[in-house]
Amino acid sequence: MPPLQQITFELRGEFITLDKLLKACSLAESGGRAKTMVAEGRVQVDGQDELRKTAKIRAGQVVSVQGARIKVVPEGASESTDSSSI
């Protein structure tokens, strides 16, 4: 089984809808495909099945879909946690 893809998504604004997040992270090739994935029960938010296509995803939440895990962080947070900067 291939390793789980870990994605950190930097949130700009208060929230992003679930379907737009899946598309933004390239886990769905289109908004329609993202909505289908959610409707089929293939997406979890914070470990719970999420069937609302436009559920509001906020910083601190974790979205899981087959083969990938998306950690949503506030804007600017990814730089402060990156210890590899020169």
Looking at CATH, the fold of the domain delimited by 5-80 is given as: 3.10.290
Please state, in angstroms and rounded to a whole number, the distance separating the CA atoms of residues 68 and 51.
18
- pLDDT at residue 82 is higher than 50: no
pLDDT at 18 (0 to 100) = 98
The pLDDT confidence band at residue 84, using thresholds 50, 70 and 90, is very low
Per-residue buried b or exposed e for 44-70, using 16+ beta carbons within 10 Å of the residue's own CB = ebeeeebeebebebebebebbbeeeeb
CA dist 4 and 39 (Å) reads 22
pTM: 0.85
pLDDT per position as a tens digit, 21-63: 999 999 999 999 999 999 999 999 999 999 999 999 999 999 9
**38 CB neighbour count, 10 Å cutoff:** 24
Q: What is the domain partition of the chain in residue ranges?
A: 5-80
Residue with the two structure tokens 């899946």: 22
